[in-house]
Structure 1
Amino acid sequence: MMRAVGTIALCGAFLLGASSPATAAPDPKVQLKIVDAAKGGPTKTVWLHCAPVGGTHPNAKAACRLLEKVNGEPGRLNVSPKAACTQEVKPHAVAVIGRWHGKVVHWAKVFHNSCQVRAATGAVLAI
C-alpha cells in the first residue's frame, strides 16, 4: 500500500513539473482573430499569431509582415491600390480583433466584393 501511495505521489510530482510555466511556450505578442463573412456564403475564421508566427492562418508569415508595415493597424493596409476589381456586389464583412504587441486591435469593414478585400488587405484576409 505504501509503495502505491509513493508511486502516485511521484507521478503527480512529474505531472506538476511538466506543466510549470517555465516549460510552457511563451504567448505570442500578436494574437488576432480574423473573420470574413460573405453575404450568402460561408463565414471563415482564422487565428493569426506573430512573434512567433503561427495560428491557423494559411499564410501567417506574409500576413504578419504586412501588418508589421502598418504597426498592426489593418485600416491602414492598401496592398494593391490600383487593382482592377469588377463592380460585382457580393458584400464581405471582415473583422480583425485581438492584440498587437499589447495594443488592442478592433477593426471591421464591409467591402463590395472579394476582389476589393484582397486589394485592400492582401494576405491578411486571404483566408
Structure 2
Amino acid sequence: MARTRLLFACLALAAPIVPATAQAVPLPASGLVLSVRPEMGTLSTTVLTCEPAGGPHKNAKQACADLIPVDGDFTRMEPAADAACTMELNTTKAKLRGKWRGKKVVFEQVYSNPCVMRVHTGKVFDF
C-alpha cells in the first residue's frame, strides 16, 4: 500500500513536467526583403516570411519550401535540372536581405537573364 502511494505521488509530481518539456521550441523569425532588377525591365521588390510562410510574396509557401532544406543558404540550392532558358542577354540582379532563423543573411547575384535566375533560385525570386 505504501509503495502504491509513493508511485502515485511520483507520477503526480512528474505530470506537470511532461507537457512543458514536450513542447516544441519555436524557431526564431525568418523575414527577407527580396528585389529583382533586370537590365531591361523595372525593379521589383517584395517581402517573404517563413515558418510560417507569408508576406506579399505570391509564391511564399513554395519559396520557403525551397529555402528550408538549405537553411536559407542560397549557395547550397541546386539548379532546376529540367529547365531550359534562352540565351537572351538581360542581366538580372537578385538581392536578398534580412534574417533567417534569427541570423542575418545577405545574398546578391547577377544572372544572365531572369530565366537563369529562376533556375538557380527556385520560387524564391519568382514574385
CA distance in 1, matches of 2:109, 2:79: 16
Where 1:124 maps in the other structure, the secondary structure is coil
CA distance in 1, matches of 2:67, 2:94: 16
CA contact (8 A) 1:75 1:107 kept: no
CA distance in 1, matches of 2:92, 2:110: 6
* Larger gyration radius, structure 1 or structure 2: 2
CA distance in 1, matches of 2:95, 2:78: 16
Unpaired runs of 5+ residues, structure 2, are 1-27
Following TM superposition, the consecutive aligned residue runs of length 4 or more in structure 1 with deviations greater than 4 angstroms are none
Aligned Cα root-mean-square deviation (Å): 1.4
1:106 aligns with 2:97: no
- In structure 2, the partner of 1:66 is 66
Structure 1 counterpart of 2:120, which letter?
Answer: A
- In structure 1, the partner of 2:78 is 78
Unpaired runs of 5+ residues, structure 1, are 1-27
Superposition TM-score, scaled by structure 1 size: 0.74
CA distance in 2, matches of 1:114, 1:103: 28
Size of the aligned set, in residue pairs, is 100
Correspondence list, 1:1-127, <5 A: 29-127=29-127
In percent, how many aligned pairs have the same letter?
36
Residue 79 of structure 1 and its aligned partner are, at CA, apart by 3.7
Residue 114 of structure 1 and its aligned partner are, at CA, apart by 1.1
